[in-house]
């Protein structure tokens, strides 16, 4: 669950400040030298160790939270996969330009929706490279990039990635550089400024372009063409979107989990260090203590959760996870 990355940080050595203002090495028994003493050849230095610890912790807190919520929450199905765009006939080359072009998505109605992109089909005029950028319109920053080598003709580029609707971030621009990549023209199936896609009231889709430079709502222009991209996508309800909006409740649970993972890293390290050579019994007890604290803090946070009145959530004693986005 990426919204927890850098929410609790590690203070020292020029690392960025945590988003919550809380650092794991402010907890008793946790220090920066613990990471410096256990890095291996693959991890290179304490930053490599820290990244591994964060990645493991993100996976576990996501799994534990969602598994706890799923039995009593029914996630409604929004709709099946659908396609935005179709190739104009006869096939016509898009004139090379300067700037970005592609498809623009806006999630609406519920803040707990997510956009899942399965693949993108393009018709390449010649063998060439393409880099697709998924841009958060609110910040102008790339959320993800997807590079592919195209052959002349039709190409399907797998994406298989879900993008959460987070506070201030419900508009996405999926684009490529028109000065570098030349494609055949496509029309948007849903390119009316006031008409949603087949997803009904949940999503707007347009073709869009933007000049070189800063990407923002003001610089993006929307059109009735999708500039060579045919996008296979799905709108989903997402428990993860809900959890990310209340992540403050899970701050201490996540901090205790990071502390536990730091200690486990010391215990299993192949490098000799003072924590495993001199204080193995004590550090083992500290690991057990932080795991118990994590489990208690997580339970307290979950017990106080109240699901919002929203199309995406219905209280139910049955387990139902169709199209559940995690």
pLDDT tens, position by position, 187-243: 655 433 333 444 456 788 888 999 988 888 899 998 878 889 999 988 888 888 888
pLDDT at 256: 97
pLDDT tens, position by position, 154-196: 999 999 988 887 766 789 999 999 988 888 887 655 433 333 4
DSSP string, 99-124: SEEEEEEEE-S-TTEEEEEEEEEEEE
Peptide bond into 230 cis (omega under 30): no
Residue 317 has pLDDT above 50, yes or no: no
Residue 97 has pLDDT above 80, yes or no: yes
DSSP state of 95: P
CA distance 142 to 174: 10
pLDDT tens, position by position, 104-127: 988 887 888 888 899 999 999 899
> How much of the chain, in percent, has pLDDT values that exceed 70?
82
pLDDT: is 194 or 3 the higher one?
Answer: 3
DSSP state of 317: S
Asked if residue 100 lies in contact with residue 209, where contact means CB atoms within 8 angstroms, the answer is: yes
User: What are the extents of the domains in the chain?
Assistant: 2-74+241-315, 86-228
pLDDT at 284: 84
CA distance 124 to 56: 39
CA angle (118 as vertex; 79, 62 as ends), nearest 5 = 80
Residue 271 has pLDDT above 90, yes or no: no
pLDDT at 167: 66
pLDDT at 266: 82
Q: How much is the mean pLDDT over the chain?
A: 81
pLDDT at 196: 44
pLDDT tens, position by position, 30-55: 888 777 666 554 445 677 788 889 99
């Amino acid at each position: 669950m990426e919204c927890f990355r850098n929410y609790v940080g590690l203070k020292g050595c020029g690392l960025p400040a945590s988003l919550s203002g809380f650092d794991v090495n402010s907890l008793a028994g946790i220090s920066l030298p613990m990471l410096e003493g256990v890095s291996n050849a693959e991890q290179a230095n304490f930053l490599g160790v820290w990244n591994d610890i964060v990645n493991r912790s993100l996976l576990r807190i996501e799994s534990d939270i969602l598994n706890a919520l799923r039995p009593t929450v029914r996630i409604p199905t929004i709709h099946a996969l659908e396609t935005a765009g179709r190739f104009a006939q006869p096939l016509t080359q898009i004139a090379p330009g300067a700037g970005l072009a592609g498809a623009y998505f806006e999630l609406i109605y519920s803040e707990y929706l997510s956009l899942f992109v399965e693949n993108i089909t393009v018709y390449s005029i010649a063998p060439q490279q393409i880099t697709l950028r998924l841009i958060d319109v609110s910040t102008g920053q790339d959320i993800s990039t997807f590079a592919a080598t195209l052959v002349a003709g039709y190409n399907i580029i797998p994406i298989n990635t879900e993008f959460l609707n987070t506070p201030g971030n419900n508009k996405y621009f999926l684009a490529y550089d028109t000065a570098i990549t030349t494609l055949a023209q496509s029309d948007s199936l849903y390119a009316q400024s006031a008409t949603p896609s087949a997803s009904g009231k949940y999503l707007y889709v347009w073709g869009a372009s933007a000049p070189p430079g800063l990407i923002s709502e003001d610089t993006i222009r929307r059109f009735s063409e999708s500039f060579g991209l045919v996008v296979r996508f799905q709108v989903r309800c997402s428990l993860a979107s809900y959890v990310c909006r209340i992540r403050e409740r899970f701050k201490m649970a996540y901090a205790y989990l990071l502390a536990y993972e730091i200690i486990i890293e010391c215990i299993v390290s192949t490098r000799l260090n003072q924590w495993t050579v001199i204080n193995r019994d004590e550090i083992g007890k500290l690991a057990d203590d932080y795991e118990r604290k994590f489990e208690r803090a997580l339970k307290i946070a979950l017990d106080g959760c109240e699901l919002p009145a929203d199309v995406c959530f219905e209280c139910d004693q049955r387990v139902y996870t169709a199209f559940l986005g995690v």
